[in-house]
């Protein structure tokens, strides 16, 4: 953020606009906070609960845990984004809650951009066999979390996941980011190349994956 602000003021100075803000007064910490992940046992418990009690919500959470996509990306997914023949998942959009000019907030769907953001992710045969019966009756433009043309948002999905966690006896504080980071750590530990992981998870470079992994 400081880098972006500095660019703005540098450009302003080149336009002859003076400012008295000293960015040197802002201090940042070089200490990196360790990421949180779930254990192999917790992951097995969650996966079994979701699979045994499958519905649209639980299928979505399982899809997130198995692919490392972001919650906003999951909320924007439609049936047409899943190719069961090729066993691939196409990620192109995300759901965001943004503040409007009137001070209120609005949930919108925006297209991803930059780096590996728009991507295709391979799905396992096991996951496809589980999801196919659930999604086969949906229209192509139906959102997979609702089964209709109206999408849900991350906040609502978060409440539902907390209920799932309570049902299978896991910590309610396990978040979507924790599931995503757990996927990253499992992928690196299994020997998948950093460049491949970056492409699958939407990171712009393998270095970002390495940096994230080193804080685990």
Whether 71 contacts 50, CB under 8 Å: no
The domain ranges of the chain are 40-174
Q: Of all helices (H) and strands (E), which one includes residue 107? A: strand 105-111
Phi, psi of 207 (to 5 degrees): -65, -35
| Mean pLDDT value across residues 164-171 | 95
At the top level of CATH, the class of 40-174 is mainly alpha
pLDDT of residue 34: 84
pLDDT of residue 194: 96
pLDDT(213) > 80: yes
pLDDT of residue 23: 62
pLDDT of residue 103: 75
* Ramachandran category for residue 147: left, alpha or beta (phi over 0 → left; psi -120 to 50 → alpha): left
pLDDT in tens, 108-150: 899 998 788 999 999 999 999 999 999 999 999 999 999 999 9
pLDDT in tens, 16-64: 787 766 666 666 666 667 889 999 999 999 999 999 999 999 999 999 9
pLDDT of residue 92: 96
Q: How far, rounded to the nearest angstrom, does the alpha carbon of residue 174 sit from its chain's CA centroid?
A: 14
pLDDT in tens, 59-95: 999 999 999 999 999 999 999 999 999 999 999 999 9
């Amino acid at each position: 953020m400081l880098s972006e602000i500095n660019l703005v003021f540098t450009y302003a100075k080149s336009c002859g606009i003076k400012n008295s803000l000293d960015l040197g007064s802002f201090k940042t910490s070089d200490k990196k906070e360790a990421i949180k992940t779930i254990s192999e046992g917790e992951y097995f418990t969650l996966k079994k609960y979701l699979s045994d009690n499958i519905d649209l919500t639980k299928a979505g959470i399982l899809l997130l845990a198995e692919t490392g996509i972001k919650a906003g990306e999951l909320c924007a997914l439609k049936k047409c984004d899943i190719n069961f023949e090729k066993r691939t998942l196409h990620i192109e959009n995300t759901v965001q809650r943004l503040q409007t000019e009137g001070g209120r907030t609005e949930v919108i769907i925006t297209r991803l951009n930059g780096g590996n953001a728009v991507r295709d992710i391979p799905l396992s045969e096991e996951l496809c066999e589980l999801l196919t019966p659930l999604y086969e009756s949906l229209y192509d433009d139906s959102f997979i979390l609702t089964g209709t043309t109206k999408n849900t948002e991350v906040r609502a999905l978060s409440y539902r996941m907390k209920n799932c966690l309570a049902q299978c006896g896991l910590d309610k504080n396990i978040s979507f980011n924790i599931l995503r980071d757990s996927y990253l750590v499992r992928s690196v530990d299994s020997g998948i190349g950093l460049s491949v992981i970056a492409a699958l998870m939407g990171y712009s470079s393998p270095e970002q994956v390495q940096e994230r992994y080193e804080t685990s």
